[in-house]
Amino acid sequence: MQGKFSIKQFNQRFPEDATCLEEIKQLRFGDTLTCPKCQKDNKFYRVAGRSAYACSFCGHHIYPLKGSIFDHSSTELKLWFYAVYLMAQTRAGISAKQLERELGVTYKTAWRIFSQIRKLMATDGNILTGDVEIDEAYFHPNPQKRTTAKSHNSQVVFGMVERKGRAVVRHVKSSGVRVLSQEINKAINSNATIYSDTHQSYRHLTKAGYIHLTINHTLEEYVSGDRHTQNVENLWSNIKRGITGVYRHVDPKYLQTYVDEYAFRYSHRQTPKYMFDLILSNIAK
């Protein structure tokens, strides 16, 4: 999609909660669906004063918010949608403190809203193919107090990036061969060509059946023809800048959701669709 999704366009599409609810209903059910009660293909019409739609034949109700991130929330749907909009409009992320100011809600509510939206940005589970770069990185829970790249409380994050494609990032317990090989087997097609540095945990890849090409960073070798890991290193740069500059502190138990956010943006950076719509469409999944 050419250009940015402007705030004016957002307000025109979603002027009130009712239009937001209709969007969710369309994403989850479409115009017509088979009624669970009468088993007829019917249109469902909005029930006045409720977040429900009724079957035009038997009157059975469906609830588009049920089971979604909006379920049991007292926050207006328009504010939820605006939070998705803000999340989609930035490459570096936006803090819950800023969302608190933007929406006029409590910090606890703002933090919960962003936590729920990040669930919509989790990896889709599709297998990476073609040329894939891999690398491990180390994140300190509080980047402002970080002393060394691999301090005793650093968290290990493993990245796998298709060239000109998608990214999968995993918060793992270590950079050992057993841990990383499991992640590689789950996320990368066996016919892929893998590019990495000379980390010892990657030495088994050729025996495992992958085409494996390396670059030796210890010898200050960074690019040699097609052999490089510049794409995954660029992803690390984006994540570290965002966490250091925007979030400041990330609890290790939530680190996976934060890296999912950046991997989602990277994976869809060239998709011909607004990032807002990409995030929102995952409600249907």
Checking DSSP bridges between strand 211-214 and strand 193-196, what pairing results, if any? parallel
Residues 218 and 140 in one domain: yes
The pair of three-digit structure tokens given for residue 251, joined into one six-digit string: 């609890």
Residues 79, 231: Cα–Cα separation, whole Å:
35
Please give the biggest Cα pair distance in the chain: 73
Residues 135 and 254 in one domain: yes
Return per-residue pLDDT of the chain as tens, 285 residues: 446 899 999 999 999 999 999 999 999 998 888 999 999 998 899 999 999 999 999 999 999 999 999 999 999 999 999 999 999 988 888 889 999 999 999 999 999 999 999 999 998 888 999 999 999 999 886 655 543 455 557 899 999 999 999 999 999 999 999 999 999 999 999 999 999 999 999 999 999 999 999 999 888 889 999 999 999 999 999 999 888 888 878 889 999 999 999 999 999 988 888 999 999 999 987
Looking at residue 147, what is its pLDDT? 39
**Boundary (domain end) residue, out of 119, 154, 176:** 119
In sign, the C-alpha dihedral spanning 144, 267, 257, 278 is positive
**Boundary (domain end) residue, out of 96, 119, 142:** 119
Residues 137 and 263 in one domain: yes
Cβ atoms within 10 Å of 106's Cβ, excluding its own: 10
Residues 11 and 103 in one domain: yes
Residues 162 and 62 in one domain: no
Residues 242, 248: Cα–Cα separation, whole Å:
9
Residues 135 and 259 in one domain: yes
Which of 210, 139, 208, 204 minimizes the C-alpha distance to 177? 204
**Boundary (domain end) residue, out of 85, 119, 153:** 119
Count of domains observed in the chain: 2
Q: Which amino acid is at 248?
A: R
Looking at residue 1, what is its pLDDT? 47
Residues 277, 257: Cα–Cα separation, whole Å:
19
For residue 124, tell me if it sits in a domain: no
For residue 191, tell me if it sits in a domain: yes
For residue 60, tell me if it sits in a domain: yes
Looking at residue 148, what is its pLDDT? 46
Residues 167 and 238 in one domain: yes
Residues 105 and 41 in one domain: yes
Chain centre distance of CA 92: 13
CATH of residue 198's domain is 3.30.420.10
Residues 135 and 258 in one domain: yes
For residue 217, tell me if it sits in a domain: yes
Residues 115 and 190 in one domain: no
For residue 2, tell me if it sits in a domain: no
Chain centre distance of CA 122: 4
For residue 126, tell me if it sits in a domain: no
Residues 157 and 263 in one domain: yes
Helix axes 17-29, 77-89, angle to 10 degrees: 70
Enclosing domain of residue 247: 131-267
Residues 45 and 111 in one domain: yes
For residue 234, tell me if it sits in a domain: yes
